[in-house]
């Protein structure tokens, strides 16, 4: 994986911001300065640091939420508050989505993830 894609996926910054961090010498991989965003790394075995903080790779994110009454189970809605609006800015990712649905007037447990395979397995009739 390209180091700039890795850093962008881990929410270090936009691609432009990541390129600036690399250019300014803030990024190291396996103890060596990264000089190009095109540099290839293995997220499972290589160590990447932003200054003195290690950046760890995580592909999938899982959240379990107790959905309150009055909130709709959707990623976006122009008229009503959604479960995605309940996330703080640190945890929010635009690739997250709710697994299944709960009515607006229903309270209950809801899984939110970016793992499409898990979502399919949980909702598939063949797994019930």
Which residues are catalytically annotated?
103
| DSSP-based helix, strand, coil % in the chain, nearest 5 | 25, 25, 50
Q: How far out from the chain centre does Cα 120 lie? A: 18
Phi and psi based region of residue 51 (left: phi greater than 0; alpha: psi -120 to 50; beta: remaining): left
CA–CA separation, 97 and 84 (whole Å): 8
């Amino acid at each position: 994986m390209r180091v700039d894609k890795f850093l962008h996926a881990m929410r270090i910054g936009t691609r432009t911001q990541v390129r600036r961090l690399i250019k300014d010498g803030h990024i190291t991989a396996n103890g060596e300065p990264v000089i190009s965003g095109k540099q290839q790394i293995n997220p499972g075995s290589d160590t990447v640091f932003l200054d003195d903080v290690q950046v760890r790779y995580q592909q999938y994110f899982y959240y379990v939420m107790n959905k309150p009454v009055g909130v709709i189970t959707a990623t976006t809605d122009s008229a009503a508050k959604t479960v995605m609006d309940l996330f703080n800015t640190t945890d929010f990712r635009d690739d997250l989505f709710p697994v299944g649905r709960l009515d607006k007037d229903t309270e209950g447990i809801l899984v939110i993830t970016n793992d499409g395979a898990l979502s399919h397995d949980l909702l598939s009739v063949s797994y019930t």
